[in-house]
Chain A
C-alpha cells in the first residue's frame, strides 16, 4: 500500500469551524455569565459578599468543599 498517513478515523480536515471574530460575542457573554455562576457557587458569602447573611453559602456549602473551593 502507499505510505500516506491519512487516517479517516482520527483526522478531520484542518478547517476551523468559524472565524474567531464570529465567536467573540458568544465567548464574552458566556464567559461573563459563567464567571458570575462560578462566583456564587464557589465564593459568595465567603471572603466577599454580594448579599447579606449566610444562607447562600450554607446552601451550596457541600459543593464548595467538594469542588475544592476555599471555605471555612
Chain B
C-alpha cells in the first residue's frame, strides 16, 4: 500500500510537470519554430500554388491551438512515462538523490529518444519530404527510435556488470561506450532518406532542425528539473527517514564535509 501511494504521487507529479513542459514547448515552438514553418510553407506555395479550397484547419489555428494541443498531449504522456521510469530506476541505477536522478534521466532520455534518432532521421519542415514516401519514412523513423531504446537497455545491462568490476566511473563510461557503439551500428544499417527539393534554403533547414532540438530540450529540461524537484519533496514527505540524508539548503551544500 506504501508503494501504491508513492507511485500515484509520482505519476501525478510527472503529468503536472509534463503539462507545464507542454505549455513551455508551445511558447518555444511558437517563437522559434513557427517562423521557419511559415517560410517553408511560403516556399512550398511558390513551387506548387495551393488549391483554392478552404484549408481544413486555418494556419492561425495550426500555429496556436493546434500546436498547443500537440505539445501538451505529447508532454503529459512523456511526463507520465518519465515518472514511472524514475520510480523504477531510483535507488536501483546509481544512488543519486531524487533530483539528481531525475536530471540525469532527463539528459539520457533526450539523447536516446530525441537526439540519436534525429541524427539519422532529422526533422523536416513542410515542403521537404515526398508525400508518397510517408509509409517508408514512418517505419524507418520508429524502427530507429526502437533500436535506440534497445541499445540503451543493453547498455544498462552492460553497465551493471561493468560498474561492479571497474567501479562507478569506468563502469559508466563502458555503458555509455556500449550505447554509442550499438546505436552507431543501428544507424549505419538503417536505410537513408534523401529527399530535398531543388532550391530549398539550407539555412532555413538548419534553423528548423535546431528548433526541433530546442523544443525537445525544453521538454526534458522541464521534466528533469521540474519533476525532479517535485519528486524529491514527495519522497521526503512519504519517506521521512530518507529525507535527512539529502539536505537541500545551499549552506549545508557549501559546507565542507568529511
Given A18-B87, A41-B73: A12 in contact with B246 (beta carbons within 8 A) = yes
Q: Is the CB of A66 within 8 A of B73?
A: no
Whether, in the assembled complex, B177 has its beta carbon less than 8 Å from a beta carbon of chain A, the answer is: no
How far is B210's CA from A7's CA once the two chains are assembled, in angstroms?
Answer: 38
* Stretch in B91-99, B178-186, B222-230 touching the partner: B91-99
Min distance, Cβ A72 to any Cβ of chain B, angstroms: 5
Query: Which residues of chain B are near A65, meaning CB under 8 Å?
Result: 37, 123-126, 208
Q: Is the CB of B62 within 8 A of A61?
A: yes
A1-37 interface with B by 8 A CB criterion: 1-2, 4, 7-20, 22-23, 26-27, 30-31, 33-34, 37
How far is B36's CA from A13's CA once the two chains are assembled, in angstroms?
Answer: 48
Could you say which of A26, A38, A63 contacts B77, with CB atoms under 8 Å apart? A38
Q: Is the CB of A10 within 8 A of B258?
A: no
Query: Which residues of chain B are near A40, meaning CB under 8 Å?
Result: 73
Whether, in the assembled complex, B172 has its beta carbon less than 8 Å from a beta carbon of chain A, the answer is: no
Number of interface residues of A (CB under 8 A): 52
B118-147 interface with A by 8 A CB criterion: 118, 121-126, 129, 131, 134-135, 137-139, 141
The secondary-structure label for the interface of chain B is helix
How far is B7's CA from A60's CA once the two chains are assembled, in angstroms?
Answer: 31
Whether, in the assembled complex, B252 has its beta carbon less than 8 Å from a beta carbon of chain A, the answer is: yes
Q: Is the CB of B90 within 8 A of A16?
A: yes
Query: Which residues of chain A are near B164, meaning CB under 8 Å?
Result: none
Q: Is the CB of B100 within 8 A of A10?
A: yes
Q: Is the CB of B7 within 8 A of A23?
A: yes
Q: Is the CB of A12 within 8 A of B95?
A: yes
Q: Is the CB of A59 within 8 A of B57?
A: yes
Given A18-B6, A27-B84, A65-B124: A11 in contact with B131 (beta carbons within 8 A) = no
Could you say which of A62, A63, A70 contacts B129, with CB atoms under 8 Å apart? A70
Query: Which residues of chain B are near A71, meaning CB under 8 Å?
Result: 124, 126, 129, 134
Known: A59-B57, A70-B134. 10 other contacts (CB 8 A): A17-B7, A43-B138, A58-B56, A59-B69, A68-B118, A68-B122, A70-B138, A71-B129, A71-B134, A72-B129
Which B residues are within 8 Å of any A CB, using their own CB?
Answer: 2-4, 6-7, 11, 29, 33-34, 37, 55-57, 61-63, 66-67, 69-71, 73-74, 76-78, 80-81, 84, 87-88, 90-92, 95-98, 100-101, 114, 117-118, 121-126, 129, 131, 134-135, 137-139, 141, 208, 211-212, 215-216, 235, 242, 245-247, 252-253, 257-258
